[in-house]
Amino acid sequence: MERSFVEIIAAKRDKLPLSPEEIQRFVRSYVAGQVADYQMSALLMASFLNGLSDEECMALTHAMLHSGTVVVLDDVPGFKVDKHSTGGVGDKVSLCLAPIVAAAGVPVPMISGRGLGHTGGTLDKLEAIPGFRTDLSIARFREIVREVGACLIGQTADLAPADKRIYGLRDVTATVECIPLIVASILSKKLAEGIDGLVLDVKVGRGAFMATEEKARALATALVRVGTLGGKKVVAHLTQMDDPLGVAVGNANETREAIDVLHGKGPADLVACNELLAVEMIRMGGRAATDDEARALVREVISSGKAARTFERLIEAQGGDPRVVEDPSLLAVAGEEVVVRADRAGIVQRVDTKGLGIASVLLGAGRQRAEDVVDHAVGLSIVAKSGSEVRPGDALVKIHVRQASDAAKIAERVRAAYEIGEGKPVVAPLHLGRITA
């Protein structure tokens, strides 16, 4: 006998399993308006408190995935691979990673997001490029992936619409931090892209949503398990986010730094993170048999200029000005620079990276409300990180603002993010582990 919607909610409340058919019917009926917001909220809270099995999580993923259009990329040759990061301060990897991997011969269809909380968003960074459009149709998305090898767009109205509605409820019902719900949300969008494989970058530390390695490993493991159940090849890497990644925070600022990587430059930690993920994607895509072969290919497409040319083609295809790749000065930068300096000698013991992310948002580089307009020109340049030795008056962070007066309160927050003391602190390595099925 078919259970009613109330009986389905009660079953999950009482820690009883739900069948895939029940979950799919519940989601389908919610999208159709036959299940109320308060009923979906009740099911989300019951799932938050009592968990979902892998089978239930896969059923939820499948239901959200098939609530809208599923992209088919059969006319794009090759094993198609995307990358997803759980987000962190200064994480601009997608901007350089996609053209590098595409230049190496692996198609990269990528649906990205905007800034969330204290972390920046790939779409906002791309839109710092004059004219760049992320609101393309699915038909144009397919064309660009086929012609260029990569395309980066935002979630359209017809891609996993159930996820968009359910996420809106999670955000206001204190159910965001539920691993099975996070897994279903991420995978429903990623599996809708038409990919064959997915590489996950799960951030760990003070600037990440998962502050501890234990929580990050649990999320990564669940993503790999459920994604594999969904018929995709999935690998996750845990990477450290105690400090900002690279030295640039803010949209145009980070886009410039990503372009530096395409020219064989850039901060060591950003280069290493980019290479780690590129090697995984290239091997998954079948373009190299070993890590060493893949690493050599990454370095070759950068040194030859092939990766930079691919980014130019991608920018032009998406309506942007490709000249920024050779002339990053075309990207906006706020006219005033306010320097936050050390007030004592010592070694930086720790950085409140989340605090720096919040400072960037308050500058206008992110959103405090969904309707806020992002200022692509403002941001931070990080001079000192954990383990850096400083003297009184040395620069810690440079704040880029429209008017110097805008930086007064931000400077206080930035200064408070730094703990300076004696002795060399223990700094975690960038790469904390690899998780496979």
Q: Are 29 and 158 members of one domain?
A: no
Catalytic one of 84, 142, 232, 256: 84
Catalytic one of 92, 189, 256, 350: 189
Residue 163 a catalytic site member: yes
Q: Are 36 and 178 members of one domain?
A: no
Q: Are 194 and 286 members of one domain?
A: yes
Residue 237 a catalytic site member: no
Q: Are 46 and 100 members of one domain?
A: no
Q: Are 100 and 123 members of one domain?
A: yes
Catalytic one of 82, 124, 163, 201: 163
Point out the domain boundary residue: 291, 313, 328: 328
Q: What is the CATH number of the domain that holds 350?
A: 3.90.1170.30
Q: What is the CATH number of the domain that holds 271?
A: 3.40.1030.10
Residue 292 a catalytic site member: no
How would you write the pLDDT of the chain (437 residues) with one tens digit per residue?
899 999 999 999 999 999 999 999 999 999 999 999 999 999 999 999 999 999 999 999 999 999 988 899 999 999 999 999 988 899 999 999 999 999 999 999 998 877 656 666 899 999 999 999 999 999 999 999 999 999 999 888 888 899 989 988 887 888 888 999 999 999 998 888 889 999 999 999 998 888 899 999 999 999 999 999 889 999 999 999 999 999 999 999 999 999 999 999 999 999 999 999 999 999 999 999 999 999 999 999 999 999 999 999 999 999 999 999 999 999 998 989 999 999 999 999 999 999 999 999 899 877 776 667 888 999 999 999 999 999 999 999 999 999 988 888 899 999 999 999 999 999 999 999 999 98
Q: Are 118 and 165 members of one domain?
A: yes
Is 296 contained in some domain? yes
Catalytic one of 47, 85, 185, 386: 185
Residue 189 a catalytic site member: yes
Write down the pTM of the prediction. Answer: 0.92
Is 136 contained in some domain? yes
Cα distances (Å, whole numbers) of residue 16 to 13, 157, 170: 8, 33, 22
Question: In total, how many domains does the chain have?
Answer: 3
Structural domain containing residue 126 = 81-328
Q: Which amino acid, one-letter code, is at 288? A: A
Pairwise CA distance, residues 156 & 173, whole Å: 24
Catalytic one of 12, 170, 217, 354: 170
Q: What is the CATH number of the domain that holds 40?
A: 1.20.970.10
Residue 295 a catalytic site member: no
Q: Are 254 and 270 members of one domain?
A: yes
